[in-house]
Amino acid sequence: MFEVQRGSAQRGAIRPLLLVALMLLSPLSRADVSPTAADLLSYYTDALRTNPVARSAEALSQVADRGVERARGKLLPQLSGFAEGAYVDESISGDYFGIVDVDRDDQYERYLYGASLSQALLQPALWAELGQAELRQQQSQLATRGQRATLLLNVAEAYFGALASQEAVGLVNARLEAVRQQRDQVVSQADAGLTTDAERQFAEAAVKLAMARRTEVESDARIATRRLHAVAGRHDARVLGLSPTFNMLLPRPTDEYAWVERARTNNLEVLQQTLAVQIATLDHKKAVRSRWPTVDLVGTAYQIDAGGGLAGERDEREARVGLRAAVPIYSGGQVTAGIEQALLQQQRAEAALEQAQTDAMFEARRAYLQMVSAQQQVGALQDAVDAARLAESGTRAGFEAGTRTSADVFNALEQRFAAEVRYQSLRYELLLQSLRLKQAAGTLAGADAVSLNRLLAGAVTLTP
């Protein structure tokens, strides 16, 4: 569970440890939202419908369902019908069933039809197959959940990546405008003989560098837009942006080891591998029980319509019911080799489970620590932005007074915009780290997309 971090200032709302960005203090007002702007939930919904990996996971789940039906069907009565029609050219000479010196030729038609029934009574292998099919069904369900969680993370990365790149475009344009204004001031002073040509050249170079940086950022924004469009097959010109005043919830417990333990036991890959160990164990049991006898209930009913032959023209009916038992005696070492092979596969699955647990615990620990690091950076970056703005103002005042150079002003501008870009991008990093932490813990689901969508307000035009 989570509790709300309350505060009136935006900075105070962002400073605490931001763990799960999907949950809000309350839904945001949507009165200012443009009806033509797409949101995160629409992208995720379309991705579930069109993404080939998601469709593959759904198909795999249905395959597993049919596998359970097949395995269960083998334990139910097996009834089949048969029919045969033949033209017989018969020639018999010699002794035949105690009749001496038989010499008989005949041509006739014979028809045979009937039904056969079998019911497994003692078939350990079939029960093991049913258990394995049910475990594979659970595996496929977990795999589907995992694919959806991964898809949600991919959509969120693309969506917030597009928003972050668009904000970077706005900041780089503002930076270019500020650099141009400073360049114009330097040029005016140079024309008046109040500064050197070197400072004029430095100012012109700063403008060119700012323009080159804008080109780079705009290119990144176009790539981010195309990535977002590709993830769900949509081509929206505008999307909803992240609210500048969104609040976060603190995790409960705020304990790294609690999340690591959750990942060790609840991570979807771990759960799938746990089922794989159980499947391998059943495989070993099935191999061992292949030495056991098998018993089936069998029955047959048939009718023969013969038009001739030594026995003469006749109609013959017969019905049988009984038990059929089989005991393996010698198979050339196949049974022993199968048992040893199944045991080795079980050991392999157990080792893979240990590795999956190690990986999940590492991912949870890394996501948690990165969130802690990001949380600590939020306050520092806000302070850095404030300090950079004050430094810029002071440097401009010093430039006007003649105590600072234009290079000092350009450096102050660079530091200010670098801090602002980093501060803006950090908000998206916090959101994504919260998703990664939930994914490592095995709790990331579609409901989180709905909660995360409530963080959006206001339309943003994407760079085409």
Instruction: Give the pLDDT confidence score for residue 403 in this predicted structure.
Output: 73
Helix axes of 124-191 and 40-50: crossing angle, nearest 10 degrees? 140
Same-domain check for residues 84 and 208? no
Q: What is the pLDDT of residues 153-166, one digit of tens each?
A: 999 999 999 999 99
Integer angstrom CA distances of residue 272 from 56, 133, 138: 17, 14, 8
Statement to judge: residues 395 and 302 lie in one domain:
no
DSSP count for the chain of H helices, then E strands? 10, 8
What's the whole-number mean pLDDT along residues 205-226? 92
Task: Say yes or no: 215 and 172 in one domain.
Answer: yes
253 preceded by a cis bond (ω within 30 of 0)? yes
Using pLDDT thresholds of 50, 70 and 90, give the confidence band for residue 13. Answer: very low
**Given a cut of 60, is residue 246 above it in pLDDT?**
yes
Residue 445 identity:
A
Average pLDDT of the residues of the chain: 84
Tell me the CATH number at 153.
Answer: 1.20.1600.10
Asked if residue 302 and residue 241 are part of one domain, the reply reads no
Structural domain that includes position 399: 2-75+123-291+332-461
The predicted-structure confidence for 166-202, as pLDDT tens digits, reads as follows: 999 998 998 888 888 888 888 887 777 777 788 888 8
Give me 140's structure tokens: 């496929």
Query: 291-294 — which CB contacts under 8 Å span 24+ positions?
Result: 291/328, 291/335, 292/122, 292/124, 293/122, 293/325, 293/326, 293/327, 294/120, 294/122, 294/123, 294/124, 294/125, 294/325, 294/326
Co-location of 162 and 202 in the same domain: yes
Work out the number of other CB atoms within 10 angstroms of the CB of residue 430: 21
User: Could you give phi then psi for residue 284, rounded to 5 degrees?
Assistant: -65, -45
Per residue in 292-306, pLDDT (tens digit) is 899 999 999 989 888
**Can you give the pLDDT at residue 14?**
36
Give me the pLDDT at residue 264, please: 95
Among 283, 303, 327, which residue terminates a domain?
A: 327
Is 202 found in the same domain as 113? no
Average pLDDT over residues 445-459: 88
CATH number at residue 92: 2.20.200
Phi, psi of 265 (to 5 degrees): -105, -30
Which of 46-50, 195-199, 340-344 comes out lowest in average pLDDT? 195-199
91-115 pLDDT, tens digit each: 888 777 777 777 788 888 889 999 9
Domain check: are 136 and 94 in the same one? no
Q: Are residues 113 and 229 in the same domain?
A: no
Highest mean pLDDT among 10-24, 44-58, 277-291: 277-291
Q: Which of 272, 305, 327 is the last residue of a domain?
A: 327
- Shared domain for 165 and 297, answered yes or no, is no
Instruction: Work out how many domains the chain is built from and give that number.
Output: 2
Position 221 scores a pLDDT of: 94
Spatial contact of 17 and 372, defined as CB atoms under 8 Å apart: yes
Spatial contact of 438 and 368, defined as CB atoms under 8 Å apart:
no
Confidence class for position 2, pLDDT limits 50, 70, 90: very low
Contacts of 372 (CB under 8 A, 6+ apart): 17
Tell me how far CA of residue 329 lies from CA of 126, 233, 291, 292, 334, in angstroms.
Answer: 20, 61, 8, 10, 11
Which DSSP string do the residues of 229-258 spell out, in sequence order? Answer: HHHHT---SEEEEEPTT---EEESS--HHH
Same domain, 87 and 208: no
Residues 106 and 244 in one domain: no
229: nearest Cα among 57, 425, 49, 38: 38
Do 428 and 455 have their domain in common? yes
Of 327, 353, 374, the last residue of a domain is 327
Give the per-residue pLDDT at 440: 94
> Could you report the per-residue pLDDT of 391-448, keeping only the tens digit for each?
878 877 877 777 777 777 778 778 888 888 888 888 888 889 889 999 999 999 988 8
